[in-house]
Amino acid sequence: MPVCATGPNRRESGCTIASAGSAAPTQDEALDTAPRGTGTLFDPRWRSVTLAVALSFAVVAFAELALSTAMPVAVQALHGLRGYAAVFGGFMAASLVGTITAGRLCDAGRTRPTALGALGCFALGALTCGGADGMAQLVLGRALQGLGGGGLTVALYVVVARRYPDAVRPRVFSMITSCWVLPSLVGPLAAGAVTDRLSWRWVFLGIAAAAALGALPLYRATAGTGPATAPEAAEGADESETGARRGGLPLALTAAAGAGLVQYAEAGRGSALGWAAAGTGLLLLALSVPRLLPRGTLRAAAGVPALVLLRGVAAAAFFTVESFVPLMLVDRHHLSPTLAGFSLTGAALSWTAASWYQGRRTDGDRTALIRSGAVVHALGTALALAAAFGPVPAWAAPLALVVSGFGMGLLLPSVGVLIMELSPATEQGANSASLELSDNLCSVLLVGLAGVLLHAPAGGGAGSGGSAFVLVFVPPLATALAAVALSARPLRAAV
């Protein structure tokens, strides 16, 4: 009888015939032996998957970028300025829980309910925010959005791993990058227009409606993403060291609480309560994170552990520089916020260009792209540090983001592709969750450290000239150089 690799939709999956008594092919075998067709993202076999993945990522991206415009108005309208940090801290903490939980569920064969449940949670959170009559509801809504957004991201990565052949995945990651670019250009402007002419509530309600539109495409895209076949399960049977599989909900909640306390400490800026929160948060992270990541991550063991650590340190360096370059342009070079914001646009465009390039490199070793990206990223970070010194002109800082963005566009998608190649089917969810966890936690810690250094007595704080920003950009440069060193390690060792 016909055996379909990706579920009942035979036009998309391509079917092979299993003779009586023969074993059914695994998903990867079916994809590899099916007629190749065009081999593009819109090949009839996975066209609906491409549309679902693109729509889902675009909705999440638009929500994050649009809310940067609408959220201050919402908080002001609800008279909740003192709870402003909780809106973002709650999202971050819940996102960690959603990420880890989704990894476990997807590896248990529940990718479809995980993806749809996460999308529903994200939409419910947007509805809760849109109907909020107080800060408690707004914080709850953002937490629901974080829980859903974190889970949805991991589930989508598992869909990519199980519905596309190896040769197409680099283009999928390039497309995912592109899904963030258009929202980065039009999201804040659109949200601002809606907020000014209608209400901030309609921004959230519109996000909920867009998420609802993605439910049916996502349902179709998750066909054939159930439990691993017998050969695939046997391949991953000994892989008991994966972090999200070794950990559980209690560890996820512990990590979320630790991250939340660290974020609270950043806002404390040296107060006794802030230092206490920082110490407690770091302790909770130290107790939980090593058990949530693949064993050997902290010592950069070859293979998946090194890739997970590389993703975290590279992302942390970039997003720290991205966070403080606009502030330096406004504070030190006296540019308008609009002009300073264009530096972020340049970074997004260069990231997309590099990602498009790596997506066309379907032959050859991914490690070469990873190493090249790490070096370019470090050069951009070094230029950001140089731009903090007095004699360097203002245009050097935006150029630093453009250079770093290009490096990240080579590095991050290639890390994702290589992780999928190295992950058995039973570990795809856990390893995807580990990537997101490493990314988020490393960024929180490094951005927090940079914020402390900005206000350190030696720096004098913003407004004191370039010395404060020199201190700010030293840790990201050290981290970027660490990413270069990590990229030189063996990255294809068996996991």
SS (H, E, C) 105-123: HHHCCCHHHHHHHHHHHHH
Range among 119-133, 192-206, 417-431 with highest mean pLDDT value: 119-133
Q: How many domains does the chain have?
A: 4
Query: What Cα–Cα distance (Å) separates residue 165 from each residue in 35, 274, 465?
Result: 12, 49, 52
End-to-end CA, the chain: 35
Q: Is the pLDDT of residue 219 over 70?
A: yes
Q: Mean pLDDT throughout 179-200?
A: 79
Q: Is the pLDDT of residue 120 over 90?
A: yes
Q: Mean pLDDT throughout 37-42?
A: 64
Is residue 266 situated within a structural domain? yes
Q: Mean pLDDT throughout 133-158?
A: 89
Residues 317 and 285 in one domain: no
Q: Mean pLDDT throughout 188-192?
A: 76
% of the chain at pLDDT higher than 90: 15
Residues 361 and 489 in one domain: yes
Is residue 238 situated within a structural domain? no
Residue 230: per-residue pLDDT: 41
Residue 448: per-residue pLDDT: 79
For residue 446, what pLDDT band results from cuts at 50, 70 and 90? confident
Residue 362: per-residue pLDDT: 66
Residue type, 220: R
For residue 269, what pLDDT band results from cuts at 50, 70 and 90? low
Residue 495: per-residue pLDDT: 38
Residue 15: per-residue pLDDT: 36
Global pTM value: 0.76
Q: Is the pLDDT of residue 228 over 70?
A: no
Is residue 41 situated within a structural domain? no
CB atoms within 10 A of CB 141: 24
Residues 316 and 264 in one domain: no
Residue 404: per-residue pLDDT: 93
Residues 199 and 85 in one domain: yes
21-25, 145-149, 242-246, 397-401: least confident range: 21-25
Q: Is the pLDDT of residue 19 over 50?
A: no
Residues 443 and 465 in one domain: yes
Residue 1: per-residue pLDDT: 34
Mean pLDDT of the chain: 78
* Residues 336-377: tens digit of each pLDDT: 666 776 777 788 888 888 888 888 776 667 888 899 999 999
Helices H / strands E in the chain, number of each: 19, 2
Q: Which domain holds residue 309?
A: 294-495
165-174, 175-184, 218-227: least confident range: 218-227
Residue 13: per-residue pLDDT: 35
Is residue 70 situated within a structural domain? yes
Residues 256 and 110 in one domain: no
CATH label of the domain that carries residue 436: 1.20.1250.20
Q: Residue 229: helix, strand or coil by DSSP?
A: coil
Q: What is the DSSP letter of 361?
A: -
Residues 56 and 123 in one domain: yes
Residues 314 and 461 in one domain: yes
9-13, 103-107, 422-426, 440-444: least confident range: 9-13
Distance CA 488, CA 144 (A): 39
Query: What Cα–Cα distance (Å) separates residue 379 from each residue in 351, 373, 383, 392, 479?
Result: 15, 10, 6, 16, 12
What does the block give as tokens for 280?
A: 């407690």
Q: Mean pLDDT throughout 431-452?
A: 84
Residues 308 and 412 in one domain: yes
Q: Residue 4: helix, strand or coil by DSSP?
A: strand
Q: Is the pLDDT of residue 220 over 80?
A: yes
